[in-house]
Amino acid sequence: MPAPLCLVTNKDGVLALNPAALAMLQEVAQPVVVVSIAGPYRTGKSFLMNRLAQKRTGFPLGPTVQAETKGIWMWCLPHPCRPGVMLVLLDTEGLGDPKKGDSHNDAWIFTLALLLSSTLVYNSIGTIDQKALEHLELVTQLSELIRVRDGDKEGSNSVEREDEAEDCEFVRFFPNFVWVVRDFTLELRVGERPISEDEYLEQVLELKHGHGRKVQSYNGTRLCLRNYFPTRKCFVLPPPLGTEECGRMEELPEAALAPRFLQQAAQFCNYVLSSTWPKTLPDGRALSGRGKGRMEGGKRGRGVMMVTQRTTRGAL
């Protein structure tokens, strides 16, 4: 694909597949590695996707407060590290756009990107503090939005489990999780001891002991992240350059960006491209772009997203 194409439109709170993008995806016969990115709006998600594509431009960037990406945009490219594999990048609409004001719609976009991914990148700014975790409270809604359906090899006599699926069932379908913290200016240190980026994330996700309401509220998002994403990674990126130039990074030469930022961005790309394997079905077969697309539900968070355990190919 010479440029990204909208895969899932989001109009008036209704998500719908774009037939043209779906047809293009179904032409892909190779196994697919799917990397999606989510996070608050206007935090530079599209820039990271362009870096993974090894392109200066592609997914649109913008210097204003207006959100650029709506719905979910897809870019299919030959994988730079795995011959015979297609890299599918999914850039999602930013969470918390004040002009949209619909947290249920945010939850559907996040859930759909998660189910499609081999690796899910969560992009935020500053530090991993309580406010950053509050943006991820939607992971606590996943058990309400997803049901697991069992089916036989022919796809017949499949029965949906009406009760909420256990965490261990979700893990079989959920992707690796990478948290990227942008514009990070703190020292990775606890007392006098330096810590790694991964240790920083794990310290933030530590649980409190107890059973009171405050403890349950504190642990809720942390517990879901720990249970749903056993494979977790963290990268912290310093500010790339001055505030005035940040909105037009794709227009600047590499030499204008901070060396430490470029180094960390390269480490992030190397990790994602080398550690992310093709999306597989429950029977272990690699999923290709020819998988059938199906999205159940519809308006404003009504209905449920189905994860179908079949040997027939299915993408949505």
The DSSP annotation for 163-208 comes to SPPPHHHHHTT--EEEEEEES--S--EETTEE--HHHHHHHHTPPP
Amino acid present at 273: L
Mean pLDDT, the chain, rounded, equals: 78
- What average pLDDT does range 17-25 have in this prediction? 89
- Please say if the pLDDT value at position 155 is more than 50: no
- Please report which helix (H) or strand (E) contains residue 7, including its range: strand 5-11
Q: Mean per-residue pLDDT for 166-172?
A: 67
Report, as an integer, the average pLDDT of 30-34.
Answer: 91
Res. 245 pLDDT band, cuts 50 70 90: very low
- Segment 232-251 mean pLDDT: 71
pTM for the whole structure:
0.80
| Res. 249: pLDDT tops 90 | no
Q: What is the mean pLDDT of residues 147-173?
A: 53
Give the Å distances, CA to CA, from 164 to 20, 50, 101, 167, 191: 34, 37, 27, 9, 42
Are 120 and 36 contacting, i.e. CB atoms less than 8 angstroms apart? yes
Mean pLDDT, residues 238-257 taken together: 65
Better-scored residue on pLDDT, 316 or 233: 233
More confident residue, 209 or 284: 209
Residues in contact with 91: Cβ distance below 8 Å, sequence separation at least 6, in sequence order: 4, 36, 37, 45, 46, 49, 59, 69, 72, 73, 75
Say what the pLDDT of residue 153 is: 43
**Model confidence over 56-114: pLDDT tens digits?**
788 876 443 344 568 899 999 999 989 999 999 999 988 877 676 567 888 888 888 88
pLDDT, one tens digit per residue, over 119-136 is: 999 999 999 988 889 888
Whose tokens are 């310290």? That residue is 203
pLDDT of residue 282: 65
The answer to which of 31-40, 46-55, 159-168, 278-287 has the lowest mean pLDDT is 159-168
pLDDT of residue 176: 93
Confidence grade of residue 294 (pLDDT, cut at 50, 70, 90): very low
**Which H helix or E strand runs over 46?**
helix 45-52
- Cβ 76 vs Cβ 25: under 8 Å: yes
Average pLDDT over residues 149-175: 55
Q: What pLDDT was estimated at residue 211?
A: 85
Residue 234 confidence (pLDDT): 97
DSSP state at residue 63: S
Structural domains in the chain plus CATH codes: 5-150+163-314 (3.40.50.300)
